[in-house]
Structure 1
């Protein structure tokens, strides 16, 4: 397990509780202050939980005050919480586990975004108090540690290739050929299984690779280049579009990055 800490926290944050990102081989999680997030659109499904108070989730013309929400990939939205209120975000990588167990626990599923986790109160109690000593428990709690059930073995392999070497696949055609599929068939199967596009998933895999490099001591420019981003500005623009702020802004909050597995 690799750990990296950035600069000291601002005075407004608790001294004994640093904002933290945990990285698994596919999934990722964040616990810390809500930050001032702009409208963004994630590359994978995100579970959001207000640890200290409800947050406002804005998407399109709708605005709802909730404590938990499951936001599908490629859904433009903004999360607004009071300054200092803490959030938990868990990003579900479709190549590592399906979202079905998590979606089944959301009790309000009338729209694309699902709300109100069945065990919302218990999750808040578990994750709002003290330092996190077992982040793996969070992954198991939300996903039942379920194994992926790929509809097509070739797509499962493609997802693994993208996670392992995201910078090597310049186009969908190249990856499709490597798993013996036509590009059109590959894109159809990929989107149907992953719930996101090839392009967006490749960006997610690159972003996780860059975050791992930062955790191991690389600066942002080196991490972005090693992960396959065309330039530091491309990385910065992608990060903002995916998470609602820049990587520099996020690291300025005294972030710990913990790599759970390679």
Structure 2
């Protein structure tokens, strides 16, 4: 697909966050070699980019998926990049991997719907309606959402997002009248990821809501039930491969999407 006109480039940067998914649209973050605990789908919206594996090998592409915990570095040649972060081994992650034409283990390239993704990514901004954002994510992952298999799991995910603290699995299972082992199996079947991973994403979601409301990292850490701002920063870097300051230092809009009870990661 040819480069997009400069008049359509991203204005500022925006992050959308919901449990199991995070989406960034804006200028290249110009990070050094890094890795995170999540899979990263990169889209060069107005020009190709280069992804270099550390150590060894590089690839030039418009769309690429880097596996979790793979040390890499992106070099953009355009003004506008989109990064979609997916929980490892989730239903989204598994489906997304099948959407690429290459078969390398650490990095996949050339999404089957690349032209559609590029066109849709060019429209992403802080004013984009939530339904349009989630539709783009669905196109990117190739995973259509389905309903939770058990209404108790719907209740559990809502508790994790809205609760004032990150609840232990045993306590939530008891509240729902389930054994812990049965609850954990139902939770994975219903959400596509583990309870522990979903709980961490929920903590990040609550911290992001505080930042979106204009609060500082200290308040965000408290709202997310992290022990301190440094704990939040360390957990964020371990997940995404960068510190929150790399995002917050630029003109950034934060959008926390309310997970639908119909959404499965």
Could you say which TM-score interval applies, normalised by the shorter chain? 0.7 to 0.9
Gaps of 5+ in 1: 1-13
* Residue matched to 2:205: 208
* Residue matched to 1:116: 110
Q: Deviations over 1:216-235 (max 9, x none)?
A: 11111111101111111110
* Residue matched to 1:81: 75
Looking at structure 2, the residues matched to 156 and 69 of structure 1 have their Cα atoms a distance apart, in angstroms, of 32
1:107 and 2:85 aligned:
no
Gaps of 5+ in 2: 1-7, 260-265
SS state at 2:118 partner: helix
SS state at 2:110 partner: strand
| Displacement of 1:93 | 7.3
| Displacement of 1:242 | 1.3
Q: How does 1:7-22 map to 2 (within 5 A)?
A: 17-22=11-16
Q: Which has the higher contact order (CA 8 A, sep 6+)?
A: 1
Change (3 A) 1:123 1:132: farther
Aligned residues: 245
Q: Is the 8 A contact 1:190 1:197 kept in 2?
A: yes
Change (3 A) 1:203 1:131: closer
Looking at structure 2, the residues matched to 111 and 15 of structure 1 have their Cα atoms a distance apart, in angstroms, of 32
Q: TM-score, normalised on structure 2?
A: 0.72
Q: Is the 8 A contact 2:49 2:78 kept in 1?
A: no
* Residue matched to 1:53: 48
Query: Which of 227, 239, 243 does residue 224 from structure 2 map onto?
Result: 227
Looking at structure 2, the residues matched to 83 and 231 of structure 1 have their Cα atoms a distance apart, in angstroms, of 37
Looking at structure 2, the residues matched to 154 and 130 of structure 1 have their Cα atoms a distance apart, in angstroms, of 34
Q: Is the 8 A contact 1:29 1:89 kept in 2?
A: yes
1:159 and 2:157 aligned:
yes
Q: Deviations over 1:178-234 (max 9, x none)?
A: 333333343344445545432222111111211111111111111110111111111
Q: TM-score, normalised on structure 1?
A: 0.73
| Displacement of 1:38 | 4.6
| Displacement of 1:237 | 0.3
1:236 and 2:233 aligned:
yes
Say what the alpha-carbon RMSD is for the aligned residues.
3.8
Q: How does 1:55-204 map to 2 (within 5 A)?
A: 55-56=50-51, 58=53, 64-70=59-65, 75-82=69-76, 85-91=79-85, 102=96, 105-108=99-102, 111=105, 114-128=108-122, 133-135=127-129, 136-143=131-138, 146-165=144-163, 167-191=164-188, 194-204=191-201
* Residue matched to 1:5: none
Q: Deviations over 1:57-108 (max 9, x none)?
A: 6388775443323456x544434223765321234579xx956765553333
Q: Deviations over 1:5-55 (max 9, x none)?
A: xxxxxxxxx997101113457743211122105533345x54331222133
Looking at structure 2, the residues matched to 250 and 243 of structure 1 have their Cα atoms a distance apart, in angstroms, of 11
Looking at structure 2, the residues matched to 62 and 188 of structure 1 have their Cα atoms a distance apart, in angstroms, of 39
Query: Which of 33, 37, 41 does residue 27 from structure 2 map onto?
Result: 33
Looking at structure 2, the residues matched to 227 and 208 of structure 1 have their Cα atoms a distance apart, in angstroms, of 7
